Structure 1
């Protein structure tokens, strides 16, 4: 039986917040299990332990994730385009999310033995691919559950919950399984069971908090079957044609994709290398790094939710520019005052974290305000692709800045670690400079003006 999509009443839409918004936001909360706990804090640390998986695991992890990034860059825009044309955005969000759930649970099979290294790396790489494909469809839903007056707050709510959800789950896993000698249910670190069971918990967490959006936001069946099916080659041809059309219609959308790719990589670098700087420059031990990481993500999550209102009031470009300027100044402060101890990193480091989330969320709403109706998946696919294309910038700039610092000061690279901060600042600065000329132009045919079936 075919169910006709039901659209919200106008008064509900003006209010902007209802169950569909919270259901959508919970996907961010649940997905933190993969991108925060598995990819950042727990499984990648486990799989690169030379005592468990042999020497050279870190380098192999880099190659595996690089290969995944290349496949994402190639597949994401076409996957978004095809979900747009089929009208099955929720369906593909569900499919890709379920693959992530299965991959997360399968990581339980990666026992600590060098023979299992490539099993773990391949599973992690495949999980990254399907996580990004799910994110494309998830981002593309934003216009349908928001209005021009609420999109900033709704995006900020989702992104903020992602930060906080990751920290809640990390605390549960760390203090319930990994930190104690005997954790919950009598689990110990023998045979890597603490980490392996944590992967099952991550799978359950992602599944549980993905179900609300999957069962709440319905696909628009009215457009299904109205467009001819395309093969893979035809999809790429249509994609290239669409990119040319976007360039002809509004250069600034393309300019924004380029600028955001650069400053988003700088934003990612803040968290990627924050713990490294805390440990190597300011002498934090492992426990202190985790405590700072919890505080940093909590601050970022709360700030992102709060700054969503400024996005709606002032516009996303002003939020991004203000956030980048504040982060650049704080980063320079960390570099200049690094000799003054941990208090500098606690204060200025948390300032950096306050503005990371708002800049990321406002970047998402900036593009959403530009996208014509029916192009959401395609444009957010390009958004993912451009980000992946320059994902080497922050790591390369961090490493290069340390080399420059060592050459300038005549010290060893280990004694010039604080110069790496300037590498991240440089990436943020380039992204800011490229963003400044971009004009804000909301398309009259934007999907923001049409409700999504819910």
Structure 2
């Protein structure tokens, strides 16, 4: 009896430590990716551009306004190549915590190094973004993989939700501090660029400082005899073999695979809007950084409310219909964004209301719907493929955005090109017979789905 109580207490201690990594790294996502880096790196690239508005990384002519989108795309492509290798290394060696810590601190260091991103150092900015983003993705993958080890099945929803809440709170808290610094930069004797660089570096310092807590609380588990050993090449190759086995098994569940394909398409559109909205707001709509920060804070608040609202709609109309409705809302919102007048913050705030209301719910319901389509006993490997695939094509949206701007020189054309992801995703999802897919996976079919 005492042993069980001690085990439960140890598990709660790990859970409390685990929450803090969401607190640590969510600031990178909000402050760096969503708000500051896109517009700032674009301005640095434009400072380095030739008279035709082109920069030449690795000798390749690139329109300066497309450089940030291309760099995000490259970082996500590198992430998906690295994920199976790092995942296999963690599983086979049992050294998950040191790997997570290494990725966290490499990412935090790269983000802190953005303080030195000034003048025309666009190549430095691109390199730091790639290192930070790959490290962020890998550390998050390793962090998520602790969840089944630190929480019993009936605890996982609550534990996961608390971690998400911690991340949301940290992102909002630091953005408020960023807003105060940026809005009053003259009072502190800082230029606008210096204030942005301090905000970027603060995200790296925050990430590194608070990563100490989960790394002290979490513990590695001993691997089973079948999961140990082997040369480094064999260990790394195991990641690709496991992925191939999972995909081969998915072929026996084509309806599950059909849903996953639809999700990958429309979620790529969602992720691209998140990373490119600040560039569109600053470059095309000529909005100042203060307006963009307030808009992101509004999105974060509404995303939580929207997730609750869409959860209630799903209970009434079913998850598939609710997601389809959200994709229509996404397409209409992005189309409306094409027509927004420049230097009119009110209309931009109206657009962010639309994004916020559908953002949290469309992703939350997609994850819960996918859980019904996973065969019993294969939850871990299917969700591993789900997460890998999520990142695996997330480079395509930024690439389309960058190419559209490269060809047209218009961010309006670039943003409206993303509507295709929601339209194609809608068509693919509507064609999935969800009830038959759940039954084919061997799971009970809910009354309303």
| TM-score above 0.5 | yes
| CA distance in 2: counterparts of 1:286 and 1:379, whole angstroms | 37
Cα deviation digits, residues 143-169 of structure 1 (max 9, x gap): 445566665554444345434422321
Distance change (3 Å), C-alpha of 1:428 and 1:398: farther
Please, which of 112, 121, 141 is the counterpart of residue 118 of structure 2?
A: 112
| CA distance in 2: counterparts of 1:258 and 1:70, whole angstroms | 17
Please, which of 103, 115, 140 is the counterpart of residue 96 of structure 1?
A: 103
Cα deviation digits, residues 359-396 of structure 1 (max 9, x gap): 23444455567387687478536633453335323663
* Aligned counterpart, 2:447: none
* Aligned counterpart, 2:137: 132
Contact 2:38/2:279, CA 8 A, preserved across alignment: no
| CA distance in 2: counterparts of 1:380 and 1:268, whole angstroms | 19
Q: Return 276-285 or 231-240, whichever deviates more.
A: 276-285
| CA distance in 2: counterparts of 1:326 and 1:296, whole angstroms | 15
Please, which of 4, 26, 29 is the counterpart of residue 32 of structure 1?
A: 26
* Aligned counterpart, 1:239: 242
Task: Tell me how far 1:172 sits from its aligned partner.
Answer: 1.0
Q: Is residue 430 of structure 2 the alignment partner of residue 429 of structure 1?
A: no
| Unaligned residue ranges in structure 2 (runs of 5+) | 50-54, 56-63, 444-449
SS at match of 1:221: coil
Please, which of 249, 252, 257 is the counterpart of residue 260 of structure 2?
A: 257
Distance change (3 Å), C-alpha of 1:79 and 1:118: same
Q: How does 1:46-445 map to 2 (within 5 A)?
A: 46-50=40-44, 53-55=47-49, 56=55, 57-108=64-115, 110-114=116-120, 116-145=121-150, 151-152=156-157, 154-176=159-181, 179-183=184-188, 188-189=190-191, 193-223=194-224, 226-229=227-230, 231-232=232-233, 234-235=237-238, 238-239=241-242, 241-275=244-278, 284-304=287-307, 320-321=323-324, 323-328=326-331, 330-331=333-334, 345-347=348-350, 349-364=352-367, 370=374, 376=380, 379-380=383-384, 383-385=387-389, 387-393=391-397, 396=400, 417=412, 423-436=417-430, 437=432, 439-440=437-438
SS at match of 1:48: helix
Distance change (3 Å), C-alpha of 1:59 and 1:429: closer
Task: Tell me how far 1:135 sits from its aligned partner.
Answer: 1.6
Distance change (3 Å), C-alpha of 1:118 and 1:330: closer
| CA distance in 2: counterparts of 1:101 and 1:337, whole angstroms | 36
Contact 1:68/1:125, CA 8 A, preserved across alignment: yes
Distance change (3 Å), C-alpha of 1:429 and 1:148: farther
| Unaligned residue ranges in structure 1 (runs of 5+) | 404-411, 446-454
Q: Return 121-130 or 226-235, whichever deviates more.
A: 226-235
Distance change (3 Å), C-alpha of 1:220 and 1:435: farther
| CA distance in 2: counterparts of 1:279 and 1:123, whole angstroms | 22
Task: Tell me how far 1:136 sits from its aligned partner.
Answer: 1.4
| CA distance in 2: counterparts of 1:212 and 1:443, whole angstroms | 39
Aligned length: 420
| CA distance in 2: counterparts of 1:289 and 1:435, whole angstroms | 32
Contact 2:246/2:381, CA 8 A, preserved across alignment: no
Contact 1:263/1:431, CA 8 A, preserved across alignment: yes
Contact 2:334/2:419, CA 8 A, preserved across alignment: yes
SS at match of 2:8: coil
| CA distance in 2: counterparts of 1:343 and 1:60, whole angstroms | 29
For normalisation by structure 2, the TM-score amounts to: 0.73
Cα deviation digits, residues 233-274 of structure 1 (max 9, x gap): 633552354234432453344334322221211212333454
Contact 1:84/1:375, CA 8 A, preserved across alignment: no
| CA distance in 2: counterparts of 1:167 and 1:254, whole angstroms | 36
Q: Is residue 8 of structure 2 the alignment partner of residue 8 of structure 1?
A: yes
Distance change (3 Å), C-alpha of 1:37 and 1:280: closer
Contact 2:23/2:169, CA 8 A, preserved across alignment: yes
| CA distance in 2: counterparts of 1:442 and 1:88, whole angstroms | 37
Distance change (3 Å), C-alpha of 1:92 and 1:368: farther
Distance change (3 Å), C-alpha of 1:168 and 1:350: same
SS at match of 1:188: coil
Contact 2:259/2:429, CA 8 A, preserved across alignment: yes
| CA distance in 2: counterparts of 1:65 and 1:361, whole angstroms | 24
Q: Return 72-81 or 48-57, whichever deviates more.
A: 48-57
Contact 2:38/2:275, CA 8 A, preserved across alignment: no
Cα deviation digits, residues 23-48 of structure 1 (max 9, x gap): 43332232122222223322343333
Q: Return 167-176 or 277-286, whichever deviates more.
A: 277-286
